[in-house]
Chains A and B, each alone.
Chain A
Amino acid sequence: MDRPKIPVDLILAKLAAEAEAAKHRLERARDIFHGPLATDIGTTPYELVYQADRVRLKYYRPEAARLKTPLLLVHGLFNRETLLDLQPGRSIVHNLLKEGLEVYLIEWGSPTRRDQFLTLDDHINGYMDDIVEFIRRRHGVPKVNLMGVCLGGTFAVIYAALHPEKIRNLITTATPTHFNTAKGLLHIWMQEIDVDRLVNAFGNLPGNLVNAAFLLLNPPRLLLDKYLGFLENMDNKDFVENFIRMEKWIFDSPDVPGETVRQVIKDLYQENLLVQGKMRLGGRRVDLRRLTMPLLNIYGQYDHLVPPEACEVLAEKVGSRDTENVCLDTGHVGIYVSSRFQKETIPKIAAWLLAREG
């Protein structure tokens, strides 16, 4: 019988050394777990300035504002906006404030069954437009800067195409606009989803179903390797705190209003109407050529959720001649939490806005 050439002595020696290291790690981790852990998210101080139904608007004031035009951040409905303020002192919101930007952030809240009939039109031409109007009045400015995050970026693109007169500059991050791509698993799966059955059964799309779908995008990494990494670093307090913050954010997906899900899946994922200029909202056609304002389009090269193919087409489809695609060497969430984004891209965004302040 053939025997594999297994260096048992070396393997055992390494295992023994690892066992000893694990024992020391466990002792140090015990002290960390028994002590206080700072795992709160969304801790940058803000002022609640507007509320309509479940939707709220947070205002973050910089120490010294460098731009007259405020920046409105729009997150998607499938996750919480707290991604943008995950780690105290190192969040996107915090760093935008450091750059002297006045920041507004939409908090979509937690839809309940009574929100199931809210459509994409209600979110974009309703809540978003009311919020933009509020900011314009509050600051006495004709236009605001708009920055979209993930599917919130798609909302921002649609809004800017319908109301270009209210937007000075548009920034999209990890924003899908071309949905007919076989590169992302989500795009492949969505083609086959019978969204009518889904919405009829659940009313709203349950947040836990969304969580499960995200986990299924890469089970080895998200269900195994991630937690082994945690075990290996559980004696590092900073690591533990950041890990728990991220876990809190990931598994806190809200339910999504059913009618909005129906339209997002049908019109965007299945029919790919937006990029073809065929999408209609509130009785009006969404024409991307009406996006004549400067556009900064940022996406991740290794984003499996929103692959570059889904993002990069936007710059070619808009009417603006001032467009820039920025492809970062990271994945989906990495765009928002990586130190590179914090150190390099946020100052770039601030400089880009400053140069176009007018």
Chain B
Amino acid sequence: MAEENSGQMASEPLLAAWIKWTMDFWDTMAQMGPGLAGAGRSGGQAARETSVSESPWLAALNLWQAFFSLLTEAGTVAAVFQGIQAPSKIILRMARAGWGGYFYLHQQWLEGWQGGGSPSGKNAYENLDQDIFRACNEIFEQDFRRLLNLPHLCLTGLPQERVIRATVNFKQFQAAMAEFIYLLYLPVKKSLRAMGAGWVNGGTEKFPEDFKDYYKRWLKILEGHYMTLFQSAEYIRTLTHTLHALEDFTLAKQELLSEAMAALGLPTRREMDDLYREIYLLKKSVKVMARKLDQREPSQEEG
């Protein structure tokens, strides 16, 4: 028991240190972004509303700041541990190791972030949107693909062409898939923004006391956003584009593999497909003939 208590006591300063790190991080984040700083600290109501609509970060930021500042109040940390009474030694040891590791990793991550320069610099990701996929494609098409288009000559020309085609199609499939996954992430972003808007920046809604209610409400909003997305023309366009890219890559990969299999003296997929088609047609013909025979037999017996 004494060991458990000492373990509990040892976790408290760790948790407090982690909370401080997190607080500092969000504070720095708020000061970095002009939109965030303006809306969150000194701007008027109109400015705040504009900013919420512009940046989903703001809602989460204010919420986290409020949450963590309350966490640091006297007795709150102790209350966290008070709720979990008498855990077994193993569970406690596992939890202690888990928390310790998490705090350490999180601290490393924050240090990396703060030391990595301003998020408005070249490493920024807050402006990440679907344009980045188009930009990546353009870079590939303009700078890399032309290298792959060098004339394919002599004996190795055809295999080289197939390798390049498979490479290009793989890259195009990856790009399409990235765009598709980004599109799937959008409802999550929108639902979090919608959730935060009710409570921060003068929102009048009461924060649910049970986090499960919060989750249920978020899930319902998320579902709604997904249903809207899935019926949109943009989603259907991206879905079909991704499928086409997958199909093109699959065909290019098959051609490349067929080349290798032919070189090894193995039957290729196309050869096997031709064989399957012949077997299918033969079986069908045999079945038709068998049915005709079945129908003829009784009449012959009668005759």
Interface string of B80-123 (1 = CB under 8 A from A): 10111101000100000000000000000000000000000000
Indicate whether A340 reaches chain B with its CB closer than 8 angstroms: no
Q: How far is the CB of A333 from chain B (nearest CB, A)?
A: 17
**Bound form: Cα–Cα A295–B144 in Å:** 62
Q: How far is the CB of B185 from chain A (nearest CB, A)?
A: 10
Closest to B45 in A: A2
Closest to A3 in B: B66
Q: Are B279 and A114 in contact (CB under 8 A)?
A: yes
Of residues 277 through 299 on chain B, the ones whose CB sits less than 8 Å from some CB of chain A are 277, 279-281, 284, 287
The interface stretch among A5-13, A60-68, A160-168 is: A5-13
Residues in B whose Cβ lies below 8 Å from that of A5: 199, 206-207
The interface stretch among A82-90, A219-227, A268-276, A349-357 is: A219-227
Indicate whether A326 reaches chain B with its CB closer than 8 angstroms: no
**Bound form: Cα–Cα A188–B184 in Å:** 17
Q: Given A8-B67, A14-B211, A188-B236 in contact, is the A203-B87 Cβ separation under 8 Å?
A: no
Residues in B whose Cβ lies below 8 Å from that of A198: 243, 247
Q: Are B273 and A2 in contact (CB under 8 A)?
A: no
Chain B contact-residue range equals: 35 or more
Q: Which of B83, B227, B276 contacts A12 (CB 8 A)?
A: B83
A-B contact count (CB 8 A): 126
Q: Given A1-B40, A201-B251 in contact, is the A19-B211 Cβ separation under 8 Å?
A: no
Residues in B whose Cβ lies below 8 Å from that of A216: 230
Q: Are A11 and B83 in contact (CB under 8 A)?
A: no
Q: How far is the CB of A262 from chain B (nearest CB, A)?
A: 14
Q: Are B222 and A220 in contact (CB under 8 A)?
A: yes
Indicate whether A236 reaches chain B with its CB closer than 8 angstroms: no
Q: Are B40 and A4 in contact (CB under 8 A)?
A: no
Residues in B whose Cβ lies below 8 Å from that of A31: none
Residues in A whose Cβ lies below 8 Å from that of B167: none
Indicate whether A192 reaches chain B with its CB closer than 8 angstroms: yes
Indicate whether B62 reaches chain A with its CB closer than 8 angstroms: yes
9 A-B pairs closest in CB distance? A16-B83, A201-B247, A4-B199, A8-B70, A114-B276, A10-B209, A117-B280, A201-B250, A220-B222
